[in-house]
Structure 1
Amino acid sequence: MQPGAPGNTHHPLGSPRWAGVGALALGVFAFVTTEFLPVGVLPQIAADLRVSLSTAGLMLTAPGIVAAMSAPATLLLAGAIDRRRLLIVLTGLLLLADLGCAFAPNFLVVVLGRALLGAGLGGFWAVALAAGGRLVPARLIARAVSLIVAGITCATILGLPTGSLIGSVWGWRASFAAAAILAGISILGQAVFLPSLPVAEKLVRSDFLLLLRRGKVRRALALVLCLFGGNLAAYTYLSPYLEAQPGLGSRAVPVVLLVFGITSFLANLVIPGALERHPRAVVAGQAAAIAIGLLGLVLSAGTLPVTLLLLLLWAVPFGAVPLCLNHWVQGASTEAPEAGSALYVSTVQIAIALGSAAGALAVQGLGLPANFGLGAGLALVGCLLLLQG
């Protein structure tokens, strides 16, 4: 690290700043809502801009690829810039991306807007996760980060259906216009509620290389790949899996998904206390629950009551894993928390892309629920990584 602006790296602010934590959670909610917004309006976009559905799918691929690179790049380029100012600038990129998509004359402009989203997304996640720990005392860090991560689950439960509804009534461009309004509110919240967050030292490339040389950090990132990748390999095809279940009509699927999402949200809120006291046991429990839940869903296909119970079991780690793994990576990189956050965010984005792609290949080659078996296998590999320390 190199000397930068004065300031501590952890909670130099006196009393907890929960309003600031809320502003960060709203920012995460806005980013994730926009990231997955095309899912609900993809056919409309493809038809309006005269591209195929597969081509329109680039709207989902582009942000993830760019975000994986932008997380570390943003911190290296930002130097000693006050993190409050940096967060506002990154959310400004989200606002520009939403407006660019809302008024795009062609698909190329849409893709460029989505790439701009990725640039802001990776940097915001990395900075926000580290900044959240600076707004509260050490004993409350897990709680603060859980509230920030809850923005992801809220975006899944509320943001995506709302965006899809707006698109079905007023068109897909209105969905992005609404997302732009949300981004503007998020900027206002950060400007009002976030205190100044100076940095004592600015990151340099050697900080990342130092972390990556450590076996504990590499194992932690490999665990992120396994558990996030396993979850996404299965979750991507959860709807068609449910629709194929005897006795569960297509109209009941949204209700099941809503209950799944609410369970995930609640798990994210109740886990921080145990995570602070027994991190290894909690992370191991999440990995085991994913493996048991997904393997059970493979074996129980066609037995509706058992299937629903296993879904609830899986929903708990699905919601808690982002918080647990962020905590695990931070524990392995305590001397460089921002670098650790950047590596975590980059690995998450890579895991999302690879997990979804691997799940698609499993379904294409072996059919449902082979992707659930793949997810269970990855979770078991994660359990083995935990045994190594």
Structure 2
Amino acid sequence: MTSPETLADAETPATPPATHRWSPVLAVALATFTVVSSEMMPVGLLTPMSHSLGVSDGISGLSLTITGLIAAVLSPFTPVLLGLRDRRTTLVAFMLLLGLADALTALAPNFAVLALGRVLLGAAMGIVWGLAASLGPRLADGPRTALTMTLIFSGVSIASVLGVPLGTYLAALLDWRAAFWALALLGVVSAAVLATTLPALPVHERGRLSGLAGALRHRGIAVGIAITAFVVLGHFTGYTYVRPVLETDAGLSSGVIAACLLGYGLAGVAGNFTLGPLSGGRPRTAVLLALSGVTLAIALLPYATGGLVTVLLALIVWGASYGGVSVSTQNWVRTADPARIEASAAVWAGVFNASIALGSFAGGLVVDHAGNHAVLLTATALTAAGLLLAALSRPGDSRPGDHRPG
């Protein structure tokens, strides 16, 4: 019998008609692409934004921190906040909010208004992330769940490869505000696509805070979330500051660095589509492969800066491995207890976003006080801790009392 703490997770999959089987999945992938592109766009536009708003680059950089922290706070409470609201209606509404947030950012006459836009974006991102991570099993049957999850998370990888560079290019042709107007339009388009392709996604049990606590009391879920925290912390501790490493230690020019990072991004897309399907049936294997590659690449990068080929190889391994992190860790959490999909996915999304913000912040402290090699060493230690935890655990690990009601 399903306990109250399972929230709304034990819903019957809402599989659309066969002729439209993949359209709702691709619609959710478009939503994740739009969300991540909106979140990360300031990375490519930091300098023109700073000049236009009359603030320092450091102040402009807070636009990323604001969004990440708001999303991190909201994501875990998504099932509780939404109650019995249909998940299709919710996704459409919050994608429209995302469009409004990007429009407000584009119109911002000063940093205060821009910060308000980024707060709204964080709210939209937190809810969309909190729901998207749990939708795979509701949009496809068992054999197709792994591919469904892979496609949903492909939006994250593709945003890194295409979304931010295209926005940066548009900003160079027009101005930085044009990039956010384009994202605002994409948010509205994404909402329309979701509204026309998603099946109804009703919920019959109200989410409770006890359900979130129940998910965390399950050892397999808790371990999967801890693994996620370690690898995302480590990744963003190092990757946020990879450009100074390539400039200072490897002596690469801006154009060559851009080409290397493009190679990293393309490898990330490949990693998502390679490790994603594997993680559907063998999540532990996929997580071990992903974390092994990330740890190895970060550890070797300081010693690979003597030549372009070795730098590129390290970045490709890093990209391909990290590209599979989102889908493989989420599949670990999902496999640990399928009865708590929405609750565990919401907590996972919150931890993921919090780890992005904390990793970037921690990396900044380390690089300022100890230098480039120290920041990569710190990143290696964090991802290695996640790898060790994964090696010593399994998604199905549980203990007596894991399944008791709150």
2:198 alignment partner in structure 1: 194
**Residue-by-residue CA offset, 1:228-253 (whole Å, 9 max, x unaligned):** 11111111112222223557433211
Q: Which amino acid aligns with 2:198?
A: L
In structure 2, the residue matched to 1:22 is 26
User: 2:396 aligns to what?
Assistant: none
CA spacing shift, 1:284–1:2, aligned 2, 3 Å = closer
What is the one-letter code of the residue matched to 1:143?
L
CA deviation after TM superposition for structure 1 residue 7, in Å: 9.0
SS of equivalent residue, structure 1 residue 80: coil
Identify the residue that residue 8 of structure 1 maps to in structure 2: 11
SS in 2 for 1:10: coil
**d(CA) in 2 for partners of 1:7 and 1:237?**
42
Distance 1:6 1:379 in 2: 30
Which deviates more, 335-344 or 311-320?
A: 311-320
Equivalent position of 2:404 in the other structure: none
Per-residue deviation at 1:101? 1.2
Q: Specify the code of the residue in structure 2 equivalent to 1:107.
A: F
For residues 331 and 71 of structure 1, the distance between their equivalents in structure 2, rounded to whole angstroms, comes to 20
- Are residues 1:361 and 2:365 paired? yes
Is residue 339 from structure 1 mapped to residue 307 from structure 2 by the alignment? Answer: no
The CA deviation at 1:2 is 7.7
Matched residue of 1:37: which SS? helix
CA drift at 1:270? 2.0
Go from structure 1 to structure 2 and tell me whether the alpha carbon gap of 1:213 and 1:103 turns closer, same or farther (over 3 Å shift): same
> What whole-Å deviation, never above 9, does each CA across 1:324-366 have from its counterpart, x for those lacking one?
1111111223211111111011000111011111211221122
The structural deviation recorded for 1:19 is 0.3
CA contact (8 A) 2:14 2:200 kept: no
Q: Check the 8 A contact 2:84/2:202 in 1, yes or no.
A: yes
Structure 1 gaps of 5+ residues are: none
Give the alignment's TM-score, normalised by structure 2. Answer: 0.91
Q: Indicate the residue corresponding to 1:138 in structure 2.
A: 142
Which aligned pairs between 1:112-123 and structure 2 lie closer than 5 A?
112-123=116-127
Matched, 1:287 2:287: no
Which of the numbers 157, 161, 166 marks the counterpart of 2:165? 161
- Could you report, residue by residue, the CA deviation over 1:280-331 in whole angstroms, capped at 9, with x for unpaired residues? 1221121111111111112333244333222222121111101111111112
| SS in structure 2 at match of 1:336 | helix
Match of 1:178 among 182, 186, 209: 182
1:3 deviation in Å? 10
Q: 1:47 aligns with which of 51, 54, 66?
A: 51
Counterparts of 2:17 and 2:109, CA distance in 1 = 49
The 2-side partners of 1:61 and 1:257 are apart by 22
* CA-CA distance at 1:139 after TM superposition: 1.4
In the other structure, the counterpart of 2:402 is none
Aligned 8 A contact 2:7 2:340 in 1: no
Q: Is the 8 A contact 2:246 2:305 kept in 1?
A: no
Residue range with higher mean Cα deviation, 285-294 or 257-266: 285-294
1:102–1:176 Cα contact (<8 Å) kept? yes
Percent of aligned positions with the same letter in both sequences?
A: 34
Residue deviations 1:357-383 (CA, integer Å, cap 9, x gap): 121122112211322211211121112
Q: Which moved more, 1:292-301 or 1:33-42?
A: 292-301
The more displaced of 3-12 and 65-74 is: 3-12
Given that 1:298 and 1:370 are in contact with CA atoms closer than 8 Å, whether structure 2 keeps it comes out as: no
CA distance in 2, matches of 1:275, 1:193: 26
CA gap of 1:345–1:81, structure 2 versus 1, over 3 A, is: same
Would the alpha carbon gap of residues 92 and 246 (structure 1) be closer, same or farther in structure 2, given more than 3 Å must change? closer
Q: Is the 8 A contact 2:5 2:214 kept in 1?
A: no
Q: Which amino acid aligns with 2:384?
A: L
The corresponding residue for 1:234 is 238
After the TM superposition, which of the residue ranges 80-89 and 66-75 deviates more from structure 2? Answer: 66-75
Provide the rounded CA distance (Å) in 2 between the counterparts of 1:239 and 1:353.
18
**What letter is aligned with 2:13?**
H
What is the CA RMSD across the aligned residues, in angstroms? 2.1
Rounded Cα–Cα distance in structure 2 between residues aligned with 1:216 and 1:356 = 27
CA shift, 1:143, in A, is 0.8
Indicate which of 209, 216, 220 corresponds to 2:213: 209
Alpha-carbon shift at residue 34 of structure 1 (Å): 0.8
Cα 1:145/1:4, change in 2 over 3 Å: closer
Please report how far the alpha carbon of residue 153 of structure 1 lies from its aligned counterpart in structure 2 after TM superposition: 1.2
Partner residue of 2:352 out of 348, 355, 365: 348
- Contact 2:264–2:315 (Cα < 8 Å) also in 1: yes
| Matches of 2:7 and 2:154, distance apart in 1 | 32
Matched with 1:262 is: 266
For residue 334 of structure 1, what is the amino acid of its counterpart? P
Q: CA offset at residue 196 of structure 1?
A: 0.8
Q: Deviations over 1:72-128 (max 9, x none)?
A: 333212111111001001101101101111122322111111000000101101111
